[in-house]
Structure 1
Amino acid sequence: MKIVFAIIHSDDSVNVTEELTLNHFSVTKLATTGGFMRKGNTTLMIGTEEERVEEAITIIKTECGKRKQVMYNMPYTENAPPGNCTVIPVTIDVGGAVIFVVDVDRYEKV
């Protein structure tokens, strides 16, 4: 038995969980926050047999494609007068997934 932890962009969570459920995977979804951009993520916990791990990972990869997104940063300048700030557009990569596969010593469903 294995548990797959997949940390994905929140925008991808509906498609990933639907596809995993259609393929008979049990999925628990947790709302999490990333450290870098402090944006909402979703962490999925998927318990499965060892022989189905690659199938779950393939579904996650298919549904979580990387893409570009424009963010607007407002730089902090200590002496700038109020309302006199320049907004700087920054292109970042979003999507994709971070996946961990862990052995399960014991599993009970009660």
Structure 2
Amino acid sequence: MKMIIAIVQDKDSNRLTDALADNDLQTTKLSTTGGFLREGNTTFMIGCDDNQVDDALDIIRKNCSHREQMVAPISPMGGNADSYIPKPVKVEVGGATVFVLPIDSFFQF
């Protein structure tokens, strides 16, 4: 048995939830916040048999798209902030960060 932990952007969350449910993969969703962009994420915890891992990863890959987003940089720490004029930059966001962990035992009460 494996535990898949997938961190995705909120924009992909509903689509991924539906796709996982359509393929009989049960999930637990947690609301989380990213550290870099400080935006909302959703963390999925998916418990599945070893033979379902590849299918689950394919579903995540197909439903969590990459996109570019304009972001205003954070002002510099220290120094003269009066002359600092933030210029938005493009960054790639989306996709998924996925961890696959072995599960020694599972209990449901």
Could you say whether these structures have the same fold, taking a TM-score greater than 0.5 normalized by the shorter chain as the test? yes
Please, which runs of 5 or more residues in structure 2 have no aligned partner? Answer: none
**Which whole-Å deviations, capped at 9, do the CAs of 1:11-47 have from their partners, x for residues lacking one?**
1111111110111001100111222222221110000
Residues 86 and 79 of structure 1: is their aligned pair in 2 closer, same or farther, counting only changes over 3 Å?
closer
Residues 74 and 86 of structure 1: is their aligned pair in 2 closer, same or farther, counting only changes over 3 Å?
farther
1:18 matches 2:21: no
TM, length-normalised to structure 1? 0.86
The answer to whether the 8 Å contact 2:75/2:81 transfers is no
Residues 71 and 59 of structure 1: is their aligned pair in 2 closer, same or farther, counting only changes over 3 Å?
same
1:59 matches 2:23: no
Count of matched residue positions in the alignment of Structure 1 and Structure 2: 107
Cα distance, 1:78 vs. partner?
3.6
**Distance across 2 between alignment mates of 1:30 and 1:8:** 11
Please, which runs of 5 or more residues in structure 1 have no aligned partner? Answer: none
Identity over aligned pairs, percent: 38
Match of 2:46 in 1: 46
Match of 2:82 in 1: 80
